């Protein structure tokens, strides 16, 4: 099957197949991000989709398109996590065998969720592309149908149903920002939007650390990148699909990239301002918007938040680093005399400066600290960077020599 075999009829058929399975996710107007960017910003909450991402749409449509003979041989897929869960869920609904090859470093939460849907999970390779190679080898031996994560018209047709929903929920939408890794989501949404409303401006957004589709788009032909330099594992694809690329090249208006710091800040702002949890791949569209990667204002803008399956350890780091970056978390160390009441005196000085103590480490045996003295490390909750400076000034005035460290 080739790119020219994707049709609106296939997309409408996919919508019918998905009607009883996939959620029609909310399109939520965001006052916060509208005021911040000067646009009317609507968030398409695919992080609230069944299995936690949009991937169920394409995976289910593909599995349900299989005939009886193919179903008896089962399905196999390669995925960093979200597609894995979609295929596993679809296979369970169809009552067929499912094998998924995932990178060895895939988030434990995604591995467990995939197994929970009944799939056999094989961990192999350092990233998606290595997992893909093994999955293809196993598929050749077993005869199972390979359910590609992005380079299959049936899969792309399933993802394209998001485009139908966007136009039904916001008929006068002017700009749509879509995350991209291998390209299935962007290709499907762009195709559906352009076929129904050609004036809509479609913008693809990719992680700067793995910009394979971005470079392919700019160069006009498929590009492969080495390495996987982003925590947005869901879009860390080194070589995009030729089918998805052909559609993107034809129907996408613009392509931009965002770095990991920008992605992390978008995740944190969504969590704090909108109470929405997304993963790295799901946040790139909003990251591009709030960090001015595109040039437009005062237009109705839809941002696809493609998934919410973020590893809690990654989320914890993002929160801590984000708080530190904005001055709401600080770590200080200083030296006190090693006698009763000294620590209380220090903490009283901190309280007097209006900071809240999160944790204290008191070390009286650390090397290079004089006898009868102890080093104290403080983790503090502060208001902003200026407040941190005030705390340091206050401690210095009280006779301490505070040092900020990370």
Torsion of CA 112, 93, 147, 156, to 10 degrees: -110
Name the strands in the sheet holding 75-78, side by side, starting at the edge strand that comes first in the sequence.
120-123, 98-102, 75-78, 145-146
Cβ 18 vs Cβ 59: under 8 Å: no
Picking from 285, 70, 258, the residue whose alpha carbon sits closest to that of residue 186 is 285
Q: Which residue, 356, 5, 350, is CA-closest to 157? A: 5
Q: Please tell me which residue in 10, 44, 55, 293 is annotated as part of the active site.
A: 55
68 is catalytic: no
Beta strands in 106-216 (DSSP E): 120-123, 145-146, 175-179, 201-207
Please list the alpha-helical segments (H only) found in 257-334: 260-274, 280-290, 312-325
Question: How far apart (Å, rounded) are the C-alpha atoms in residues 204 and 288?
Answer: 10
CB 181 within 8 A of CB 235: yes
Which candidate, 254, 278, 290, 83, places its Cα nearest to that of 178? 254
Catalytic-residue membership of 44: no
Nearest CA to 234 out of 139, 161, 149 is that of 149
- Catalytic residue IDs: 55, 306
């Amino acid at each position: 099957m080739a790119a020219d075999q994707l049709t609106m009829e296939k997309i409408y058929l996919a919508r019918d197949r998905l009607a009883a399975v996939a959620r029609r996710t909310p399109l939520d107007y965001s006052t916060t991000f509208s005021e911040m960017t000067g646009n009317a910003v609507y968030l398409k909450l695919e992080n609230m989709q069944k299995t936690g991402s949009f991937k169920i749409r394409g995976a289910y449509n593909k599995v349900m398109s299989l005939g009886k003979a193919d179903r008896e041989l089962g399905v196999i897929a390669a995925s960093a996590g979200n597609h894995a869960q979609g295929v596993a869920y679809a296979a369970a609904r169809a009552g067929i065998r499912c094998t998924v090859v995932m990178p060895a470093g895939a988030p434990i939460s995604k591995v467990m969720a995939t197994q929970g849907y009944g799939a056999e999970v094989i961990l192999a390779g350092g990233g998606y592309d290595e997992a893909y190679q093994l999955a293809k080898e196993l598929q050749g031996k077993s005869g199972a149908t390979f359910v590609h994560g992005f380079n299959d018209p049936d899969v792309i047709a399933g993802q394209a149903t998001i485009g139908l929903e966007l136009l039904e929920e916001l008929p006068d939408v002017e700009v749509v920002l879509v995350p991209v890794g291998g390209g299935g989501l962007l290709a499907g949404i762009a195709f559906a939007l352009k076929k129904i409303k050609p004036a809509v401006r479609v913008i693809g957004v990719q992680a700067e650390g793995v910009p394979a589709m971005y470079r392919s788009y700019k160069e006009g032909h498929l590009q492969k990148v080495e390495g996987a330099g982003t925590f947005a594992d869901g879009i860390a694809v080194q070589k995009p699909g030729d089918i998805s690329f052909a559609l993107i090249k034809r129907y996408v208006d613009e392509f931009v990239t965002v770095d990991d710091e920008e992605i992390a800040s978008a995740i944190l702002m969504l969590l704090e301002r909108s109470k929405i949890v997304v993963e790295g791949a799901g946040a790139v569209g909003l990251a591009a918007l709030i960090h001015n990667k595109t040039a437009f204002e005062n237009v109705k803008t839809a941002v696809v938040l493609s998934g919410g399956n973020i590893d809690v350890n990654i989320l914890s780091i993002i929160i801590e680093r984000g708080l530190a970056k904005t001055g709401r978390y600080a770590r200080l160390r200083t030296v006190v005399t090693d006698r009763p009441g000294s620590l209380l005196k220090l903490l009283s000085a901190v309280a007097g400066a209006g900071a809240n103590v999160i944790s204290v480490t008191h070390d009286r045996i650390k090397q290079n600290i004089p006898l009868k003295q102890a080093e104290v490390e403080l983790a503090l909750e502060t208001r902003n960077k200026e407040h941190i400076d005030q705390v340091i000034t206050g401690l210095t005035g009280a006779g301490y020599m505070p040092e900020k460290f990370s």
